[in-house]
Amino acid sequence: MAYDVDLADRLRALLSGEPNVVEKRMFGGLAFLVAGHMAVSASGKGGLLLRVDPGQGDDLTEDPRVNPFEMRGRSMTGWLHVDVDRSVSEEDLGHWVDRGVAAARSLPPR
């Protein structure tokens, strides 16, 4: 499955005012790196791949749209998959993007 181009466009628009943002194709999706760290991605499996503070992951998975991100059957600490589609408002999507950006900015620049 290819990534959702509409979601990628929405992410691009939300990130347009952020400094040091780079787009990069990764893992079948389109990732948005902030200061060299992936913050969010239009996932190749659909939805949003999101970097979060590892200590917040459990609280965020209480939302039924949110699941731990798994790679090769292994849960990846600090990463979540969020089921988003066209029905998700810009405000809600912006909330997730802001979390991803904050998590990426908390890391030393690359």
Quickly name the fold that domain 5-105 has.
Aspartate Aminotransferase, domain 1 (3.90.1150)
C-alpha distances in angstroms, 89 versus 10, 56, 66?
A: 10, 22, 16
What SS3 state is found at 4?
Answer: coil
Domain boundaries, the chain: 5-105
- Looking at residue 66, its amino acid is V
**Beta bridge partner(s), residue 81:** 49, 67
Can you give the pLDDT at residue 77?
84
Q: What is the mean pLDDT of residues 77-98?
A: 93
Please write the tens of the pLDDT for every residue from 25-61: 998 899 999 999 999 999 998 999 999 998 887 788 8
Mean per-residue pLDDT of the chain = 91
Q: Which of 8, 6, 1, 52 is nearest to 30 (CA)?
A: 8
Identify whether the C-beta of residue 103 lies closer than 8 Å to the C-beta of residue 53: yes
Put simply, whether the predicted model's pTM sits higher than 0.75 gets the answer yes
